[in-house]
Amino acid sequence: MAINRTGLLYDQRFLTHMTGDESAVITREKMFHLSPAPHPSSSFLIQRTKEFLDGSGLSAHLHALSSRAATLDEITTYHTQEYVAGMHECAVNGPMIGPFTRSWGFVDEDTVISPGSYEAALYSVGGALNAVQATLNGEVHNAYALLRPPGHHAMSNQALGFCMFNNVALAAHYARRTFGVERIMIIDWDVHHGNGTQNAFYSDPGVLFVSLHQENWFPGHSGTLEESGSDKGIGYNVNVPLPPGTGDRGYLAAFDQLIAPLGQLYRPELILVSNGVDACWLDPLAQMMMTMDGYRQLTLRVVALAEELCSGRIVLLHEGGYSVPYAPYCTAATIEALSGIDLGIVDLYATSSELVRCQEIYSPATQDALHAARETYMRWWKI
């Protein structure tokens, strides 16, 4: 196998999506301001992660892939033409901060669209497509796209949860249209529910969507067991809502009990992963207690599954991850596992007793959640 077998896609343009600062503190009686701190989805996080990959020497072992602007034709495989024009209009008039509704759609209160955001979002989608292209045409064995803005919450005409265009859904459409791929498995282990991706393929058996996420978290009431697909896609939309504090063992059990058996029955020709590192124990936007090693083990498993089922054809697309100190570690561990490179990076919190707890916990609530998911999807799959 060639050296540099794993592609790494990154583009400086991703940093021109500026989400601004936050400073407000709200008490029962009033609101006041502190010195500003970066918005949770600040460009700072991706920049630090890229610096980590470069500084550790990991980037030098990877095959650098470049991005491009996705075309309107490619973006409208999911999004409406009016919505794409609306995103452009917001950027021209930006910064625009939701919530607001227009004739073309909706932007929520979490999502900021700055003057550079439209171009960054076009390149984020184009990056996802290029990573898929490089993997399917054999330029690389597999790939990691360090994208920004993220995509899995974006609906056909709604910008939600920091997302403008749905990178992973558009990547799946691209693989089908350009390479004739008939069965794609999308695994979404970002801690939030991939509602936009679910929506894109809800009645479509050509995509098996499996989401592990914190139950009833974001978007609220989204990602329940009852949302199992419709029409020809019934059973092909798999939600695995997990309780807070699931930890490494719970995620790995979810993989072993649900993701791997489903993959073996579905036999995808390509696996796409929405990799959010916001299930980590230090993430300020969730409560799932994954560690750097948990991300490594989870990725090793999905790589082995891809080797077994689809000649190793797997592309990971970066979604969320908001712990400034720890997200770069979790991302690096993911890419190490994807590429088979081990640089011996020591966990930033290796001396913390909390880290051990995150690795060992496997609560009855987690076991019940996995049991409930298996019971639900046994209706369609022999798992």
Q: Among the options 39, 141, 152, 153, which is catalytic?
A: 153
Q: Which is nearer to Zn ion, 242 or 309 (CB)?
A: 242
Residues of the shown chain interacting with Zn ion in the complex, contacts defined by CB under 5 A:
190, 192, 276, 278, 320
79 counts as catalytic: no
Q: Which is nearer to Zn ion, 294 or 320 (CB)?
A: 320
Smallest distance from Zn ion to CB 145, Å? 16
Smallest distance from Zn ion to CB 309, Å? 26
Tokens of 303: 């790589």
Q: How many CB atoms lie within 10 A of CB 274?
A: 27
Partners of 340 in beta bridges: none
**CB neighbour burial string for 155-191, b if at least 16 within 10 angstroms, e if fewer:** bebbbbbbbbbbbbbbbbbbbbeebebebbbbbbbbb
Q: How many CB atoms lie within 10 A of CB 76?
A: 16
Smallest distance from Zn ion to CB 56, Å? 24
Smallest distance from Zn ion to CB 192, Å? 4
Q: Which is nearer to Zn ion, 278 or 336 (CB)?
A: 278
Tokens of 247: 């930890």
Give the residue carrying structure tokens 């798999």. Answer: 238
- In 3D space, the residue among 185, 167, 89 whose CA is nearest the CA of residue 130 turns out to be 167
> Which residue has the CB atom at the shortest distance from Zn ion?
320
Q: Rg of the chain's alpha carbons, rounded to an integer?
A: 19
- In 3D space, the residue among 112, 105, 121, 119 whose CA is nearest the CA of residue 165 turns out to be 121
163 vs 174: CA distance, rounded Å: 19
Smallest distance from Zn ion to CB 10, Å? 19
Q: Which amino acids are annotated catalytic? A: 153
